[in-house]
A and B are shown apart, each in its own frame.
Chain A
């Protein structure tokens, strides 16, 4: 059945399950409101587990001195709380490290949404829980439904109370089981009236507004729905991992477009809920236009936060720079298989509505077959006028300069127009002013160009339209001229300003791309790990005007390997943050969720899902990074990680290659030894036993023959052993040369004497030039080289064929050649014959011998700063070995 193919468990589903294995299990007791009895239920469950013999401890539980709860807590071990001094007050928090050290099977951590006092490792308790789960400890925790991030604004709308403490939806998804503690609103209100619900004194007023039947009913419904949805998800998970075909649509996505209108966060939450209901993946998209640069810090950080929120809610966050917002939205939608696009209903002033169409309308007009969901932003935060003021300051540092310039331009155009006023009529003069307006608008944006237009209008009216030197207009046609002038000037200003903005965005993007490109180029060229690290720290420091440290793990420790400036030492807090980054593969430190007090912000360098190292940055200004910078950083971190991985991989490969090579040599040596030691031994043993057994049957000649065999083979064995010893000396670097001035004739003579038997009656043509200077060599070593070469010449050339030996001076060398008339060495093998264990093939079979002789020759010759090479003999016949040896220098 072909369908079975598609019903294999999806890899993602299995991965998710595998990730959960080895982790602790999380159970959340969820309720609609405080007082429904979550803590009580949790303690009761814990008692039951304890009775099963499971190691249960209380990490932190607030009993609020309620007797029935306190009773339920009895008999359970409690980890003493950590006392934290904060601003002169003492706070009690869960001692995370103590729990981790105690390593129980199950720990109770009350109030999942709690915010920790600064000084504790994580700002939020759910992060503590996350760490406990990662350590393999099961956790029971409690949560009220209004603390769930994506329900936060719904709850706010229902109850009118904004809850500050929230937990990301992802923690709900991570929960292995959820127990809903349900109580009807009536029962809850009764408990409240009986004083069974703890309410802090300062919150009493707010709470009394909160605990109304209507609110509680709505919250209860939310809680029920949440629990039901969670059950549904688990079922889907199960179906996926067990390859049960289900109704989820593949490749269907929801995309939410966020903007700078203050609705970003709320839109993201809406998208999350919609996606959850439909059971499809979703993403949040922010199109960065020129406007981004003029937004105030607050608005920009709001957008960054919304994108972070999307990620923490399980969506994907995407930032793309482009001026054509609708076009880009549709492009991404098509590319990502998006079926539903969520946009906010813009709350804009009449003016801006006139000038710019809303995105929703644009998308609807384009009608590309997407479902466009227009959502009304709930309680969009209005930007304060103060924000706008700040914008202008940010945009142009000295705003008055641009107005001064505009005034100057108007002045100059006026002078020109004045000069020309005698020659031409009014409409033409207005064109001169128009040039000025265009000039200003292209460089200084809309506001300045508007100012220029109006100033030009007034000046023109005052100076040139009759009656002159008055703002009055006498003639109808002048009125028309002036009106048209103003319209054209403003339009030109708008167009020019838009052009200017686009240029800015383009330049900005180009700079960013250039920076990334430069970075990639630098590290691609970096050969060693150190080069890469230096490139990273320099680049990041330069780009962000910050201090940068790169840390890499060595064994169980993280060590600083590169810094910029070079003398930075990480403080303890930052060190701890970086360690956390390394162990968890998530950002930490400055302005993050974990150890936000540390001066450095740490980013994991991820390659192939592994944390290769940590990039730590301390901005010189105390500002948080913009989303733009953060994206750059992530790009750089991952790029560096890949490169670091690559360089270490190269080193690993080299190491592996070396090992293989060593292994290969060892194997060759063993096979060579077994072959070359055995062969002569076989001959010797065979000859001697033959002689012993058949002495009487052999004639004299046969006996002598066999004895000759024994002698020759013994010689061969001896030479082989000598070769092995020489090779060992060369390889181990134990070769000590005693160099002396050596006469070439003496050298050749010594070698030939050694081979007297092998040479026999073979003719030798010896041609050694007279008065050759001595060479600087160790005679006993060089003798062995020549013996090897001459022996080869004897072995590989037919008996009776002459061997030529010659020696000539060649600059600072003596060139010795030994030429035989044998079969020669094929050209392509001539370099390789000097490799260890290399044997030239004659016909199809390799020649006998270990393939050590010439390798030793090369080793010895090179130890003498000489050269050895193989050529063919005269007329391409035979083999010529050329040895060059340095001449002995009398000065030394």
Chain B
């Protein structure tokens, strides 16, 4: 297995007060070729972000000293590094709050390392794209091809006709490839406002038609996945 050459210098900060969790994350991420930093309190975490400037932070929301949400806000004041949130809390509002405060993705505990590494990769890729500030021409997941330059979308190399809003929605999800986008942020990006049931309903309708156009079985989607009560994500699958 060939590894992405850039991972060697990528520093990932793991913030969790459970040594067992830190241990398997450390071992797995090191195996993937990342350099791992660890913190077990919010204070340490903020300190490390300030002094060692890691490239990505994996943050557990329940910490002994400060609430994870506050850590996200503090970090966002000095850095734009991807933040991947982990939490055992099942409250949907926690996830939404974390994402709205500036976290990039969310994973509920327990999770598989495989999924986590996928998300880390997606976040790093996104970060690289944003850092490079280059124009992305196309995004590919599975047999879907989204041509950002021409606004054309193909499935199995056959063109798919999308309405403007449908395309805009797909583009938003694609640009956040693999990461969840909250209903609020999608709504704001599309219509400049959020919060109403009607907007939520409109969003659902667009997702529904997109699935009908893009998925083999719209009721068992592969690409556009729902995070109940939080939002949607475009699953990044290897090109077919």
The reply to whether B92 and A738 contact each other, CB–CB distance below 8 Å, is: yes
The reply to whether B220 and A749 contact each other, CB–CB distance below 8 Å, is: yes
**17 CB-based A-B contacts, threshold 8 Å:** A711-B112, A725-B90, A740-B229, A743-B204, A745-B208, A745-B219, A746-B204, A749-B211, A749-B218, A749-B221, A750-B228, A752-B219, A753-B221, A766-B217, A766-B220, A768-B219, A805-B219
Known: A750-B226, A753-B220. A714 touches B110 (CB 8 A): yes
Question: How far is the CB of B218 from the nearest CB of chain A, in Å?
Answer: 6
Residues of B within 8 A of A752 (CB): 219-220
Question: How far is the CB of B205 from the nearest CB of chain A, in Å?
Answer: 8
Residues of B within 8 A of A774 (CB): 201, 204
* Residues in A747-801 with C-beta less than 8 Å from chain B: 748-750, 752-753, 764, 766, 768, 774, 778-780, 783
Known: A711-B112, A743-B208, A774-B201. A753 touches B218 (CB 8 A): no
CB nearest neighbor in B for A750? B226
* A741 contacts chain B at the CB level, 8 A cutoff: yes
Residues of B within 8 A of A746 (CB): 204, 207-208, 226
* B6 contacts chain A at the CB level, 8 A cutoff: no
Range class of the A interface residue count: 20 to 34
Give 1 or 0 for each of B198-218: 1 = CB within 8 Å of chain A CB. 001100110110010000011
Q: Give the distance in Å from the alpha carbon of A764 to the alpha carbon of B217 in the complex.
A: 10
The reply to whether B197 and A741 contact each other, CB–CB distance below 8 Å, is: yes
Q: Give the distance in Å from the alpha carbon of A805 to the alpha carbon of B217 in the complex.
A: 13
* B225 contacts chain A at the CB level, 8 A cutoff: yes
* A718 contacts chain B at the CB level, 8 A cutoff: yes
Q: Give the distance in Å from the alpha carbon of A783 to the alpha carbon of B217 in the complex.
A: 18
* Residues in B78-110 with C-beta less than 8 Å from chain A: 90, 92, 110
Residues of B within 8 A of A742 (CB): 204
19 more A-B contacts (CB under 8 A) besides A725-B90, A753-B221, A780-B92? Answer: A714-B110, A738-B229, A741-B204, A743-B204, A743-B205, A743-B208, A745-B208, A745-B218, A749-B218, A749-B220, A750-B225, A753-B226, A766-B217, A766-B220, A774-B201, A779-B226, A779-B229, A783-B228, A805-B219
The reply to whether A753 and B225 contact each other, CB–CB distance below 8 Å, is: yes
The reply to whether A764 and B207 contact each other, CB–CB distance below 8 Å, is: no
Question: How far is the CB of B92 from the nearest CB of chain A, in Å?
Answer: 6
Ranked nearest first, the 9 interchain pairs of A and B with the lowest CB-CB distance are A780-B228, A779-B228, A750-B226, A752-B220, A780-B229, A766-B219, A748-B219, A743-B204, A783-B228
Question: How far is the CB of A221 from the nearest CB of chain B, in Å?
Answer: 98
Question: How far is the CB of A727 from the nearest CB of chain B, in Å?
Answer: 14
Q: Give the distance in Å from the alpha carbon of A768 to the alpha carbon of B215 in the complex.
A: 15
Give 1 or 0 for each of A710-721: 1 = CB within 8 Å of chain B CB. 010010001000
Residues of A within 8 A of B229 (CB): 738, 740, 778-780
Question: How far is the CB of A22 from the nearest CB of chain B, in Å?
Answer: 63
Q: Give the distance in Å from the alpha carbon of A750 to the alpha carbon of B211 in the complex.
A: 13
Q: Give the distance in Å from the alpha carbon of A879 to the alpha carbon of B168 in the complex.
A: 43
Residues of A within 8 A of B112 (CB): 711
Residues of B within 8 A of A753 (CB): 220-221, 225-226
Question: How far is the CB of B202 from the nearest CB of chain A, in Å?
Answer: 10
CB nearest neighbor in A for B204? A743
Residues of A within 8 A of B217 (CB): 764, 766
**Which A residues have a C-beta under 8 Å from some C-beta of B?**
711, 714, 718, 722, 725, 738, 740-743, 745-746, 748-750, 752-753, 764, 766, 768, 774, 778-780, 783, 805
Residues of A within 8 A of B221 (CB): 749, 753
CB nearest neighbor in B for A892? B197
Q: Give the distance in Å from the alpha carbon of A722 to the alpha carbon of B204 in the complex.
A: 27
Residues of A within 8 A of B228 (CB): 750, 779-780, 783
Known: A746-B207, A753-B225. A741 touches B201 (CB 8 A): yes
**Which B residues have a C-beta under 8 Å from some C-beta of A?**
90, 92, 110, 112, 197, 200-201, 204-205, 207-208, 211, 217-221, 225-226, 228-229
Residues of B within 8 A of A750 (CB): 225-226, 228
Q: Give the distance in Å from the alpha carbon of A218 to the alpha carbon of B201 in the complex.
A: 112
Q: Give the distance in Å from the alpha carbon of A766 to the alpha carbon of B217 in the complex.
A: 8
CB nearest neighbor in A for B114? A711
Question: How far is the CB of B131 from the nearest CB of chain A, in Å?
Answer: 31
Known: A738-B92, A750-B228, A805-B219. A745 touches B211 (CB 8 A): yes
Q: Give the distance in Å from the alpha carbon of A375 to the alpha carbon of B205 in the complex.
A: 108
Residues of A within 8 A of B208 (CB): 743, 745-746
Q: Give the distance in Å from the alpha carbon of A324 to the alpha carbon of B207 in the complex.
A: 97
The reply to whether B200 and A741 contact each other, CB–CB distance below 8 Å, is: yes
Question: How far is the CB of B203 from the nearest CB of chain A, in Å?
Answer: 10
CB nearest neighbor in B for A722? B90
Q: Give the distance in Å from the alpha carbon of A743 to the alpha carbon of B208 in the complex.
A: 8
Q: Give the distance in Å from the alpha carbon of A854 to the alpha carbon of B73 in the complex.
A: 41
Question: How far is the CB of A577 from the nearest CB of chain B, in Å?
Answer: 64
Residues of A within 8 A of B219 (CB): 745, 748-749, 752, 766, 768, 805
Residues of B within 8 A of A779 (CB): 226, 228-229
Residues of B within 8 A of A740 (CB): 197, 200, 229
Q: Give the distance in Å from the alpha carbon of A741 to the alpha carbon of B197 in the complex.
A: 8
Question: How far is the CB of B220 from the nearest CB of chain A, in Å?
Answer: 4
Residues of A within 8 A of B197 (CB): 740-741
Q: Give the distance in Å from the alpha carbon of A748 to the alpha carbon of B219 in the complex.
A: 6
Most chain A beta carbons < 10 A, residue from B197, B204, B220: B220
Question: How far is the CB of A294 from the nearest CB of chain B, in Å?
Answer: 86
Q: Give the distance in Å from the alpha carbon of A718 to the alpha carbon of B112 in the complex.
A: 12
CB nearest neighbor in B for A717? B110
Question: How far is the CB of A585 from the nearest CB of chain B, in Å?
Answer: 61
Question: How far is the CB of A380 from the nearest CB of chain B, in Å?
Answer: 95
Question: How far is the CB of B219 from the nearest CB of chain A, in Å?
Answer: 5
Q: Give the distance in Å from the alpha carbon of A742 to the alpha carbon of B204 in the complex.
A: 8
CB nearest neighbor in A for B218? A745
When the two chains form the complex, which single residue of A722, A725, A764 contacts B220, counting CB atoms closer than 8 Å? A764
Q: Give the distance in Å from the alpha carbon of A311 to the alpha carbon of B110 in the complex.
A: 82
Question: How far is the CB of A355 from the nearest CB of chain B, in Å?
Answer: 98
Q: Give the distance in Å from the alpha carbon of A401 to the alpha carbon of B194 in the complex.
A: 95
CB nearest neighbor in B for A756? B220
Residues of B within 8 A of A783 (CB): 228
Q: Give the distance in Å from the alpha carbon of A742 to the alpha carbon of B110 in the complex.
A: 27
CB nearest neighbor in B for A725? B90
Q: Give the distance in Å from the alpha carbon of A577 to the alpha carbon of B177 in the complex.
A: 87
Q: Give the distance in Å from the alpha carbon of A774 to the alpha carbon of B225 in the complex.
A: 18
Residues of B within 8 A of A718 (CB): 110
Q: Give the distance in Å from the alpha carbon of A740 to the alpha carbon of B211 in the complex.
A: 20
Q: Give the distance in Å from the alpha carbon of A879 to the alpha carbon of B229 in the complex.
A: 30
CB nearest neighbor in A for B205? A743
Residues of A within 8 A of B205 (CB): 743
The reply to whether B226 and A749 contact each other, CB–CB distance below 8 Å, is: yes
Residues of A within 8 A of B110 (CB): 714, 718
Most chain A beta carbons < 10 A, residue from B205, B211, B221: B221
Residues of A within 8 A of B220 (CB): 748-749, 752-753, 764, 766
Q: Give the distance in Å from the alpha carbon of A722 to the alpha carbon of B92 in the complex.
A: 14
Question: How far is the CB of B181 from the nearest CB of chain A, in Å?
Answer: 15
CB nearest neighbor in A for B235? A753
Residues of B within 8 A of A745 (CB): 208, 211, 218-219
Question: How far is the CB of A845 from the nearest CB of chain B, in Å?
Answer: 30
Q: Give the distance in Å from the alpha carbon of A753 to the alpha carbon of B226 in the complex.
A: 9
Q: Give the distance in Å from the alpha carbon of A749 to the alpha carbon of B92 in the complex.
A: 19
CB nearest neighbor in A for B95? A780
Residues of A within 8 A of B207 (CB): 743, 746
Question: How far is the CB of B69 from the nearest CB of chain A, in Å?
Answer: 19
CB nearest neighbor in A for B230? A780
CB nearest neighbor in A for B92? A780
Q: Give the distance in Å from the alpha carbon of A631 to the alpha carbon of B219 in the complex.
A: 79
CB nearest neighbor in A for B90? A725
Q: Give the distance in Å from the alpha carbon of A778 to the alpha carbon of B92 in the complex.
A: 11
Residues of A within 8 A of B225 (CB): 749-750, 753
Residues of B within 8 A of A738 (CB): 92, 229
Q: Give the distance in Å from the alpha carbon of A750 to the alpha carbon of B207 in the complex.
A: 13
CB nearest neighbor in A for B221? A749
Q: Give the distance in Å from the alpha carbon of A738 to the alpha carbon of B110 in the complex.
A: 24
Q: Give the distance in Å from the alpha carbon of A780 to the alpha carbon of B229 in the complex.
A: 6
